[in-house]
Amino acid sequence: MSLKFGVVVFPGSNCDHDAYYALRKILNYDVEFLWHKENDLKQSNVILLPGGFSYGDYLRTGAIARFSPIMNSVINFANKGGIVIGICNGFQILLEAGLLPGVMIRNNSLKFVCKDVYLSVENRDTIFTSEISSDKKVVKIPIAHGEGNYFANPELLKELEENQQIIFRYSDAEGNVTENDNPNGSQLNIAGIVNKNGNVLGMMPHPERACDPTLGKTDGTLIFKSIANYILN
């Protein structure tokens, strides 16, 4: 099977080009932009919802973007088992669209935060993490958000844990998940989760920013390579 990423462009997306560049120029995959006003996924078999401030995020992050025409197609695609990855604002949109459970609230510092963080990889047996070898304790990937404080009720949190839906948690460089390393107040230090079926990933950190060796970080490639491997094998 061939591999093709579709990167959705909402008005206000600003990591769309970064994702495109990482996939096309660094990893050499086939990629196409998908304009939000259309509903054609153009034969993409992985949909990427990029970071940014869709519609300015003036109402609530991701709240308006989910009504874009393209989202109907994305929801159908995901419900049929299609692979979807939402990064930062993309994660927020997936929550608003109901493709992932829980909600996002403002960082507990009430401030935007941009920095490199370490993520402990909680589940390596997924479409998105199979290429992260078990001797690698953490991945280093930057965050940049004002609303990345993941919130869910206790029942949902329990369910996420039981189903191993929590994929990434904020940690120190050794992989210890501590309060100190939680940049935004997320429950259980959650940085990324998948849906029950495991075909939809939402994560606040930006893997596309950790791909180009020139910039000194490459752990983000492992996530895209995992997806590629899953599709190509």
Partner 1 sequence: MMKEPEVTFELAQEHGIIKEEWEKILKILGRTPTFTELGVFSVMWSEHCSYKNSIAQLKTLPRSGGRLLVDAGEENAGLIDIGDDLAVAFKIESHNHPSAVEPYQGAATGVGGIMRDIFTMGARPIASLNSLRFGSLKDARTRFLFDGVVRGIGDYGNSFGVPTVAGEVYFDESYQGNPLVNAMAVGIVNKKHIASATSKGAGNPIMIVGSSTGRDGIHGATFASEEISEKSEAKRPSVQVGDPFTEKLLLEATLEIIKNDWLIGIQDMGAAGISCSTSEMSEKGNAGMKINLDKVPLREDGMSAYEILLSESQERMLCCVKKGYESNVKEVFEKWDLHCEIIGEVTDEEILDIDYQNKLKAKIQPFDLVLGGGAPVYIREQKEPEYLKETRKFDSKALTEPKDLKETFLKVFSSPNIVSKQWVYHQYDSMVRTNTIVGPGCDSAVILIKGTNKALAMKTDCNSRYVYLNPKEGTKIAVAESARNIVCSGGVPLGVTNCLNFGNPYKPEVYWQFAQAIAGMGEACRHFDTPVTGGNVSFYNESPETAVYPTPVIGMVGLVEDLKHITTSYFKDEGDVIYLLGEDKEEVGGSEYAKVIHNKVAGESPTINLDEEKKLQDTLLNLIRKGLIKSAHDISEGGIVSALAECCIINQEKQLGCEVEIPIKSRKDFSLFSESQSRIIISISKDKILELESELKLSNVKFTKLGVVSGSSLKLKNLFDVNVNELSDIYYNTIPRIMSSEK
Which residues are tagged catalytic? 88, 206, 208
Is the separation of the CB atoms in 167 and 124 below 8 Å? Answer: no
The CB-of-20 to partner 1 minimum distance in angstroms stands at: 10
Q: How far apart are CA 210 and CA 26, in angstroms?
A: 11
Q: Please, are residues 156 and 149 in contact by the beta-carbon 8 Å criterion? A: no
Q: Among 27, 103, 113, 188, which residue sits at the site for partner 1 (rule: CB under 8 A)?
A: 113
Nearer to partner 1, 14 or 187 (CB): 14
Q: Token pair for residue 32? A: 């196409």
- Closest contact distance (angstroms) between CB of 58 and partner 1 is 7
Least Å from the CB of residue 116 to partner 1: 9
Q: Under rule CB under 8 A, how many of the chain's residues touch partner 1?
A: 32
User: Token digits for 178?
Assistant: 């501590």
157: left (phi over 0), alpha (psi -120 to 50) or beta: alpha
Give the residues across from 52 on adjacent strands: 13
| Piece in contact with partner 1 (CB under 8 A), picked from 69-77, 107-115, 128-136, 223-231 | 107-115
Judging by DSSP bridges, how do beta strands 46-49 and 83-87 pair with one another? parallel
Residues 30-49 that bind partner 1 (CB under 8 A): none
Asked if 181 touches partner 1 (CB under 8 A), the answer is no
Residue 191 host element (H or E): strand 190-194
Tell me which H or E stretch contains 49: strand 46-49
Instruction: Pick the piece of the chain touching partner 1 (CB under 8 A) from 10-18, 77-85, 127-135, 184-192.
Output: 10-18
If binding is defined by CB under 8 A, does position 147 make contact with partner 1?
Answer: no
Q: In angstroms, rounded to a whole number, what is the distance separating the alpha carbons of residues 66 and 106?
A: 19
Could you tell me if 33 and 10 are in contact, meaning their C-beta atoms sit under 8 angstroms apart? no
Query: Would you count residue 173 as binding partner 1 (CB under 8 A)?
Result: yes
Which range binds partner 1 by CB under 8 A, 50-58, 94-102, 123-131, 191-199?
Answer: 50-58
Tokens describing residue 126:
């997924």
Applying CB under 8 A, which of residues 96, 147, 181, 208 lies at the interface with partner 1? Answer: 208
Residue ranges binding partner 1 (CB under 8 A): 11-12, 14-15, 17-18, 21-22, 51-53, 55-58, 111-115, 142, 144, 146, 173, 206, 208-209, 211-212, 214-216
